[in-house]
A and B are shown apart, each in its own frame.
Chain A
């Protein structure tokens, strides 16, 4: 290992730690950081759920019930996928992760739609 190597390691380490301090304050303590994007899960034409797809947010399993029975949607690292679904061809499960706004996973037999859209302004809607 050369002297230049050590300088490089120290520099990267410093950048990383300084950056962590900044985002720690930004993401892990304070509030009102707008959501980058959101996904909606629709079953049988009704929006069941709107999920924040924050790239630094935690993993999450969402249990839903489609027309053909239970399904599990997984959210992790700003992405969303159909983890398990009770449908014959498993097309939605095989599609894997989606993360870009506008992307959609559709489970036709289960009548489940997962759609990623732009920023949404509310936590819940009273109706």
Chain B
């Protein structure tokens, strides 16, 4: 269903997601292992899932990775394909949990998003490198995904409450 209001909101959310994506790229976590990220942009993907549907969330996620890599200069570089695969898979998993289950809070959903993002990235990496040894890296990424996934979930939880209080959630839901 086409709605101008929906289009505008999604565009705004996409801009936010892209900004977060780029911002995060500027401040890598100073851990001795690369690849552990906060995943701030995932907040927006998840928010879109809560507000709209899988199609909207997937659009925002993919467009965010495209725009982010264009801005970061990694367009069609390996990092781009890794990010894209991670974003697509984590959006699918989170959509499943948000729309089909009710036992998870935003924290749990966000954590599963972070975990599936890492899984997707590694799948793509092992495909690109033709090298399965890279899966030895998974435990470190998984461990890193726990606090980062929970933190973004926590932020989203707070955001949803604020939106609720301000009546924006109800307003959005009218569309």
Contact = CB atoms under 8 A, between A and B. Distances in A.
| A and B touch in their complex, CB below 8 angstroms | yes
Interface string A16-42: 111110110011000001001100000
Contacts of A101: 129-130
Interface string B17-40: 000000000000000111100000
B111 A37 contact: no
Interface string B93-120: 0000000010111011001100100000
Which of the listed residues A9, A16, A22 has the most CB atoms from chain B within 10 Å of its own CB?
A16
B111 A20 contact: no
B136 A26 contact: yes
Interface in B114-136: 115, 128-131, 133-134, 136
B104 A4 contact: yes
A109 interface: no
Contact of A78 (B32, B111, B130, B134): B134
A99 B129 contact: yes
Given A9-B150, A19-B139, A96-B77, A37 B131 contact: yes
Contact of B137 (A2, A8, A56, A58): A56
A3 interface: yes
B62 interface: no
Interface stretch (B44-52, B53-61, B84-92, B141-149): B141-149
A42 B86 CA distance: 35
A27 B136 contact: yes
A100 interface: yes
Contacts of B142: 12, 15-16, 19
Contact of B104 (A8, A13, A55, A59): A8
A16 B103 contact: no
A12 B146 contact: yes
Interface string A61-89: 00000000000000011100000000000
A5 interface: yes
Leading 8 A-B pairs by shortest Cβ distance: A19-B139, A5-B108, A4-B103, A16-B142, A77-B34, A16-B143, A20-B139, A23-B136
23 contacts: A4-B104, A5-B108, A8-B104, A8-B111, A9-B111, A9-B146, A16-B139, A18-B139, A19-B138, A19-B142, A20-B143, A23-B139, A26-B136, A55-B133, A55-B134, A55-B137, A77-B33, A78-B134, A96-B77, A97-B79, A99-B78, A100-B128, A101-B129
